[in-house]
Structure 1
Amino acid sequence: MINHYNLDNEPLFLERLATVDPKKEAVVDLSTETAITLNYGQLNDLANRTAQGLLNHGIKPGEFVAYILPNSWEFVVTTLAIWKIGATACPILPALRDHEVAFIMEKSKSRILIIPESYRKFDYQPMVDRIAPKLPHLETTLTITSRDPLDMTACLGGLAAEAPDMKTIEALWPKASTNAQLLFTSGTTGEPKGVIHTHGTLSFAVHAHTKTLRLTDQDGIWIPSPMAHQTGFLYGMIVALSLGAKQICQAIWHVDTARQAIEEHGATFVQAAMPFLADISRDKRPPKGLKIFVATGAAVPRQLAHDATAALECHVVGGWGSTETCLVSVGSPYSNSEKAWSTDGRVIEGMEMKITDDEGNELPRGEEGMYRVKTPATFTTYLDHHDWYEESIDENGFFITGDLAIMDEEGYLSITGRVKDIVNRGGEKIPVVEIENLLYEHEEIKDVAIVGMPDPRLGERICAFVTLKTNKAFTLEDITSYLEAKGVAKIYWPEHLELIDELPRTVTGKVQKYVLRQMITDKITTKA
């Protein structure tokens, strides 16, 4: 039973690292004109040297160590070095700026911050200078000026320059119960929470995942999702390290770089959000070579999954996970059922999920309700707010996800929306995801999101934000006549259309519906 699962049985990542052939290719970094590659021997040596550097800066076991790094060999080495001394990794998304970075640094009380000199035309040191007066705990900022892993005086800001004291380092290696990771939830609600995982919870998540998908050390793990997010961190970097496989790091999104990762460097597996899948599958020359694409992070239009399967000649499957629980359900690439991609998959072995009413009573299959999950991969607390953690776990140990879902008779999960994303039109709850999926099939629609707009009589009306594939004229009537032809009841039709160049998303692909709701609310208020 999950309640009594012993996480101490899980092999930890550092233990696996020590057993891999040191000559085997470990990291391919595509962030420079010529790819930077490291084998496992070089990776381990750099991590040991960097671990010593952290010790020289006074970092102790249990401390949070913050770093703002894009997908790169430096990200991998830094993470391993932090773990080798029993400290906790606190990666920060490179897209974040003063307010968010100051918030994370203040919450984590990290005494050290590792930054790139520049990334995507943004210089980081001036930002650090601006926020430093608010951060009394910050003692050292290390700036990466050299990308050459052989430049031992300058790479990693000089952190890796010292010869390691392996006896001291090995005595600090973490246990399953040691904190491994502090990640802050991304802004679909606007209120980030500091999620803490241990080596045990992350190890269980990865090993259950790789076993389910039958991944091996012969796979190439492609990482276009930010490594400072759980998708790229755990289901990219750590999947590769736990398998002893090669990881291909892509920092800046471009389809040509994706093609390089797949066709030149042998990427066979990727877990990423919908925009990545859409871009490579809709390209004039879709890259070939992927075996499995697990589409997560946001609702994936089922038409896109169907089209991408054909274009990429690989298995596209759905899945559901969260920062707090890691991946809980996934479609099987070895199943002939269309449900592998037309749903969010089935529960991963060793985990549980159920659909309940508001009081926590389990509902019959086929009924929509609150989605709850229970897994040994569940986080251990929210930083400084264990009360939030306790509120998120019910009396039976299930995490309350905040999602609405349906589970069919075969156990396939379909997320139907967020509790906070429900459009309540005069007491009628609108099936938002179902309507969005239908609209994605419209030949003129590139992207769509449905939100509630304030209405004095009904409480809310249905507003569709749409981006188009062409510059053709497009009206609300085009939507309603299309849905009518699809047999959708009129009560579910959007009542207002907003054309938009691009939907607001988090860096991991989630549509920020609270931004859209505020946009339409402001527009209505201004007109009034």
Structure 2
Amino acid sequence: MTTSHIRPSAAGTVGWPPEMVRRYVAAGYWDGQTLTAPVVAAAAATPEAVALVDGAVRFSYHELAARVDGAALRLRGLGLRPDDRVLVQLPNGWEFIVLTLACLRLGVIPVLALTPHRHHEMSYLAEHAEVRAIAVPARFRGFDHRGMAHDIARAVPTVQRVLVSAGEPDIGAVGATADRAAAVDVDLRALCRPADDVPAARTLLDAAAPDSRAVALMVLSGGTTGLPKLIARTHDDYGCHARRTAEISQFGRDTVYLAVLPMAHSMSLGMLLATLRSGGRVIVASSPAPVTALGLVERERVTATAVVPAIAQSWLNHQEADPRHDLRSVRLLLVGGARLPDQVAERMVPTLTRNLQQGYGMAEGLVCLTRIGDPDDVTTRSQGRPICADDEIILVDEDGRRVPPGEPGVLLTRGPCTPRGYYRAAEHNACAFVGDGWLWTGDIVRIRDDGNVVVEGRDKDMINRGGEKVSAEEVENLAYQVDGVGFAAAVAMPDPDLGELVCLYVVPRDGARVTLADVRSVMESAGVARFKWPERLELVGALPRTNIGKIDKKALRSEVAARLAAEVDRSTPAP
């Protein structure tokens, strides 16, 4: 097949100014190492220590490093070279870890997608990043990911390989069929075998290590303007994130980290790399369900994990109702991805952990964490402070004016972990980055006198569904494809488990009948991830407007919240 020109990643990125580079190097934030160098060092220092547990699979550091090097050399044998991109859509498991580390080791750039993504999102990512290969499970939770990958390969000329991990038991043979395959199938598990000659492989790959300033990986933005933006993270800046996370969380060789959240999320990947660079052990959870996850905590003597508030609350409720699991090994529980209610935070210690750590951050770079030893008022009522002293944050009003100390405002940030622009998104960058490289996050926060951040809300048009960010604009654009929709507005509605769900307001055209099933059918046909589907449809005669004519989303959010509260009141039996 013919292959279009592969644009070097540097052509689509926005670098830090030279004076900032010198400042971050001098301060030690950027240490010149690749992301895999500390893992290789850990393998040399403690080769027999257990690095990874995934069900019956238990890899020592020696075997993990040997598999990473073997996969890196086999990727090279497939024709992949530094700066080529691989779209990775794999569930949590040892294959994700080995393949991602192998890409980082070789200088190939993994573009990290989520398993709920479908053709709508995946085809965009493959085309935008000009990927050379797509890594997928054959099937996962009943969906044919391999078939989707080949559909995309037929449409995106750069895609030459589909790396397929063995899927669910009913999948049958993994081999490509002539009528479906537009790219060559590669057995991912075979690709991830240990190197045939481990010392030679290590020597070769050490000598060809990528530059630490080069793009290491691409993660996805939360996205408020349609499909997610790609964030190009370098070895230096993401290494700073992982190293400071490990230091603040006091990770070491005795750390046993439970990977519950999708590893493709920046928070989860950062904790994973923080564990491996420290010589600790990663335990893969097949499910966040309390019985499964807390059973693993007890069996593997887990010391640390990271979850979103919905998972934390389900674990808390389960353990309070039936404290059968021995969780005394848990030294640190990080909760992030959304605001943890203060009242729930106060119940975490000692039921689930000895130390609660709250976090606030974004794939764009900034990470705030509370510290072990902080007063209870900090760990239960704030989301922490920046992990680097040179992470700069300022708060402004909607007109860009600084707000008085202690007052809430929109957070702007820049620093050693925050890239200065999205990948190949010059038009969007002109709006998202203001002044001298300040990222306008859209999050409304307050900074306490002690420097800790308290998340108050957002000015972004975004729905945070259990930590998964849903663009209201993307939902609305799809809703307009439904026959009979005159006007559409997607807003967040409160949910006790996931925090927020998607509510779609629709003004039907004259005489039209629009149902929630109609909207979901269009989204399913478009191959849209299910977490973006609306859970509620409100049909109205008109949408409220602000004084300047914009749809008043604040009024709609208040209205649906009031309706939900009234419905709960009506369903509650009288005493």
Into which bin does the TM-score normalised by the smaller protein fall?
Answer: 0.7 to 0.9
**Matches of 2:107 and 2:120 in 1, distance apart?**
29
> 1:129 offset after TM fit, Å?
3.0
Alpha-carbon RMSD across the aligned residues, in angstroms, is 3.2
Question: Could you tell me which residue of structure 1 aligns to residue 76 of structure 2?
Answer: 55
> What whole-Å deviation, never above 9, does each CA across 1:153-198 have from its counterpart, x for those lacking one?
9662545476365344223212220111111224565431011000
> What whole-Å deviation, never above 9, does each CA across 1:34-86 have from its counterpart, x for those lacking one?
x3110100000001110111011100111112222111111111011111211
CA separation of 1:178/1:268 partners in 2, compared to 1, >3 Å: closer, same or farther? same
> 1:252 offset after TM fit, Å?
2.9
> 1:133 offset after TM fit, Å?
2.0
Contact 1:269 1:290 (C-alpha < 8 Å) held by counterparts: yes
Q: Kindly provide the amino acid, as one letter, of the partner of residue 163 in structure 1.
A: D
Q: Kindly provide the amino acid, as one letter, of the partner of residue 139 in structure 1.
A: Q
Q: Are positions 1:474 and 2:493 aligned together?
A: no
- Quick one: percent identity of the two aligned structures? 21
Question: Could you tell me which residue of structure 1 aligns to residue 40 of structure 2?
Answer: 18
> 1:402 offset after TM fit, Å?
0.8
Contact 1:204 1:377 (C-alpha < 8 Å) held by counterparts: yes
CA separation of 1:314/1:331 partners in 2, compared to 1, >3 Å: closer, same or farther? same
304-313 or 83-92, larger mean C-alpha shift: 304-313
Q: Kindly provide the amino acid, as one letter, of the partner of residue 279 in structure 1.
A: S
With the length of structure 1 as denominator, give the TM-score of the two structures. 0.77
Contact 1:330 1:347 (C-alpha < 8 Å) held by counterparts: yes
**Matches of 2:270 and 2:134 in 1, distance apart?**
21
Contact 1:62 1:87 (C-alpha < 8 Å) held by counterparts: yes
Q: Kindly provide the amino acid, as one letter, of the partner of residue 150 in structure 2.
A: D
407-416 or 115-124, larger mean C-alpha shift: 115-124
CA separation of 1:112/1:420 partners in 2, compared to 1, >3 Å: closer, same or farther? closer
Q: Which aligned pairs between 1:37-52 and structure 2 lie closer than 5 A?
A: 37-52=58-73
Question: Could you tell me which residue of structure 2 aligns to residue 271 of structure 1?
Answer: 306
**Matches of 1:232 and 1:264 in 2, distance apart?**
21
CA separation of 1:304/1:143 partners in 2, compared to 1, >3 Å: closer, same or farther? same
**Matches of 2:365 and 2:106 in 1, distance apart?**
25
**Matches of 2:310 and 2:344 in 1, distance apart?**
10
Question: Could you tell me which residue of structure 1 aligns to residue 413 of structure 2?
Answer: 373
Q: 2:359 is matched with which residue: 316, 319, 337?
A: 319
CA separation of 1:477/1:86 partners in 2, compared to 1, >3 Å: closer, same or farther? same
> 1:199 offset after TM fit, Å?
0.3
Contact 2:342 2:380 (C-alpha < 8 Å) held by counterparts: yes
Q: Kindly provide the amino acid, as one letter, of the partner of residue 19 in structure 1.
A: A
CA separation of 1:457/1:338 partners in 2, compared to 1, >3 Å: closer, same or farther? closer
Q: Kindly provide the amino acid, as one letter, of the partner of residue 346 in structure 1.
A: R
70-79 or 330-339, larger mean C-alpha shift: 330-339
Question: Could you tell me which residue of structure 1 aligns to residue 9 of structure 2?
Answer: none
Q: Are positions 1:156 and 2:177 aligned together?
A: no
**Matches of 2:432 and 2:447 in 1, distance apart?**
21
Q: Are positions 1:121 and 2:142 aligned together?
A: yes
Question: Could you tell me which residue of structure 1 aligns to residue 372 of structure 2?
Answer: 333
Q: Are positions 1:75 and 2:114 aligned together?
A: no
> What whole-Å deviation, never above 9, does each CA across 1:242-297 have from its counterpart, x for those lacking one?
21111111243322221133111122112221122111111133661321112111
Q: Are positions 1:141 and 2:162 aligned together?
A: yes
**Matches of 1:261 and 1:118 in 2, distance apart?**
25
Contact 2:114 2:264 (C-alpha < 8 Å) held by counterparts: yes
Contact 1:331 1:340 (C-alpha < 8 Å) held by counterparts: yes
Question: Could you tell me which residue of structure 2 aligns to residue 281 of structure 1?
Answer: 316
| Structure 1: segments with no counterpart, 5+ residues | 148-152, 424-438, 479-528
Q: Kindly provide the amino acid, as one letter, of the partner of residue 26 in structure 1.
A: A
Q: Kindly provide the amino acid, as one letter, of the partner of residue 67 in structure 2.
A: L
Q: Kindly provide the amino acid, as one letter, of the partner of residue 224 in structure 1.
A: V
Q: Are positions 1:407 and 2:501 aligned together?
A: no
Contact 1:183 1:196 (C-alpha < 8 Å) held by counterparts: yes
> 1:346 offset after TM fit, Å?
2.1
Q: Are positions 1:416 and 2:456 aligned together?
A: yes
Q: Kindly provide the amino acid, as one letter, of the partner of residue 140 in structure 1.
A: R
Contact 2:84 2:131 (C-alpha < 8 Å) held by counterparts: yes
Contact 1:374 1:399 (C-alpha < 8 Å) held by counterparts: yes
| Structure 2: segments with no counterpart, 5+ residues | 1-18, 169-185, 464-493, 506-542
Question: Could you tell me which residue of structure 1 aligns to residue 471 of structure 2?
Answer: none
**Matches of 2:402 and 2:247 in 1, distance apart?**
29
Q: Which aligned pairs between 1:288-327 and structure 2 lie closer than 5 A?
A: 288=327, 289-327=329-367
Contact 1:60 1:87 (C-alpha < 8 Å) held by counterparts: yes
**Matches of 1:466 and 1:132 in 2, distance apart?**
47
CA separation of 1:162/1:25 partners in 2, compared to 1, >3 Å: closer, same or farther? closer
**Matches of 1:390 and 1:457 in 2, distance apart?**
26
Q: Kindly provide the amino acid, as one letter, of the partner of residue 93 in structure 1.
A: L
Q: 1:180 is matched with which residue: 194, 209, 216?
A: 216
With the length of structure 2 as denominator, give the TM-score of the two structures. 0.71
SS of match in other structure, 1:252:
coil
Question: Could you tell me which residue of structure 2 aligns to residue 521 of structure 1?
Answer: none
CA separation of 1:452/1:367 partners in 2, compared to 1, >3 Å: closer, same or farther? farther
CA separation of 1:176/1:162 partners in 2, compared to 1, >3 Å: closer, same or farther? closer
Q: Kindly provide the amino acid, as one letter, of the partner of residue 433 in structure 2.
A: I
Matched residues, number: 446
**Matches of 1:211 and 1:255 in 2, distance apart?**
28
